[in-house]
A and B are shown apart, each in its own frame.
Chain A
């Protein structure tokens, strides 16, 4: 499992689901993100507390990918989100 795999949604982020998109707002900075398609799905499942391995399995079934392919896509997504600050490494506090 990659480093990016052990993440959780940043606590300052509030979000809503809107016609297949996930609209995220950072309550402190006001920064916005609009996640589409697989990203929106990943965000919703992550916010429900799915562990990495379960997330890979679920996404593989939903996106019709192999688990290896899904894992690669997921690692890339989570690394981007960690850089953007919308997810934190599981051990990080809210203010890092």
Chain B
């Protein structure tokens, strides 16, 4: 019964069992009866309650951490940690790591090693992601990696997908190339000119809006998938519906992801503050309705109820990221960030003096596979544990006591609950629940959502 959850939604109880692919709204009395029947194992009889009990008695398999032989699930390349922008919230600006640029030989060796692994494992598919800094600051690495991987994939006979996370300020010619050659473009785009230019100026202080807007239009016309990723602050949280409307009117993204500002000393200096989580959740949901009405997928990644995962990000998924200095890591954040948290997310390194030999450290692989929600006791009783999986292993510091939810937990729980009600077509209930702050607070502030932990006052 550990994966059956019960969350109050006004005067009803949402029974949510993600591993059973089941959600139901029942009365509190029925929820307690359900709990007792599941605990006792006694027959539930015929009728809707009996059917529900039968479904929830089915054995389910929890998502498990990876085990056994290391086979890279994807390759990430970091051509540089440097960037042409000086975003006011970005911690990369002052990092010493920005001085390194990946050599073409290292990119070649990394791609060849990865494609060799794909061939050896017989995997039908290969996947290469480019992160930064701004990866297009070193275009030659991207060109080399794309052409080489395409040639190797054709030899091996596997499919191949490319994804890039970019600030989108590249030239028009490079934009057309990107639209033609990369499958998914994740564009950091915070909104209309006043927001974009305030948050994401060039290093000389001038605005980046004109370049990104031109390129977003070009990419909108391409065959590839385009995701906008907008950073939301306290000042812009109330504008999320407006930003969503504007994105839909001006461009044709496939998805829009809204992410709350992750505070840094630089964002503090710039006077940028994370949004209030309740306001973020409310405005995300309002924005999501606008996006969906335009056929655009709204994304708040920790609340994606389609996900069943033990880790939220590449960490723990045997995803290999090659840093410009040849260190292989599991995380695309700056090394200094995770080292400051006492974490070691290195998987190995490339030895450029030994013909690019790649050394994966088996102990590091095992250690990093341990970064998963099974080892996050704080999340054990949360209905969203298999969706959010505790979030970022580096920046999401989990509470010490059950129910000690921080702003990230609060907004993830509200949005995930909304997503569940929306998927059940209970939009009217979702709307009244969102307007009822006391009811919303009751839903959020449960120390444990497990049905088995619910007492008689449910």
Q: Which residues of A are in contact with B by a Cβ distance under 8 Å? A: 17, 20, 41, 44-45, 47-50, 54, 57-58, 61-62
Beyond A17-B180, A20-B154, is A58–B144 a contact (Cβ under 8 Å)? yes
Q: In this complex, what residue of A is CB-closest to B148?
A: A62
Known: A48-B143, A48-B177, A57-B104. 4 other contacts (CB 8 A): A17-B180, A41-B147, A45-B143, A61-B104
Nearest-neighbour CB distance to chain A for B352, whole angstroms, equals 14
Nearest Cβ on chain A to B183's Cβ, whole angstroms:
14
Closest to A54 in B: B140
Give chain A nearest CB distance to B105 CB in angstroms. Answer: 7
Q: Which of B265-293 contact A (CB under 8 A)?
A: none
Looking at the complex, which one of B104, B174, B180 makes contact with A58 (CB distance below 8 Å)? Answer: B104
Whether B174 lies near A48 (C-beta < 8 A) is yes
Central interface residue in A45, A48, A50, by most chain B CB within 10 Å? A48
A-B contact list, 9 entries, CB within 8 Å: A47-B173, A48-B174, A48-B177, A49-B173, A57-B104, A61-B144, A61-B148, A62-B147, A62-B148
B108 in the interface (beta carbon within 8 A): yes
CA distance A17 to B150 in the complex (A): 13
Is residue B151 contacting chain A, with contact meaning CB distance below 8 A? yes
Are A62 and B144 closer than 8 Å at their CB atoms? yes
A10 to chain B, nearest CB (A): 16
CB under 8 Å from chain A, chain B span 115-167: 139-140, 143-144, 147-148, 150-151, 154
A47 to B143, CA, bound (A): 12
Residues of chain B contacted by A47 (CB below 8 angstroms): 173
A54–B174 CA distance with the chains assembled, in angstroms: 17
A57–B174 Cα distance when bound, in Å, is: 20
A58 to B173, Cβ gap below 8 A?
A: no
What separation, in Å, do the CA atoms of A48 and B181 have in the docked complex? 13
> Which residue of A is nearest B108, CB measured?
A61
- Chain A's closest residue to B181 (CB) is A17
Would B173 and A62 count as touching, CB distance under 8 A?
no
In the bound complex, residues from chain B placing their C-beta under 8 Å from that of A58 are: 104, 140, 143-144
Residues in A neighbouring B148, C-beta threshold 8 A: 61-62
A24, chain B: closest CB distance, angstroms: 15
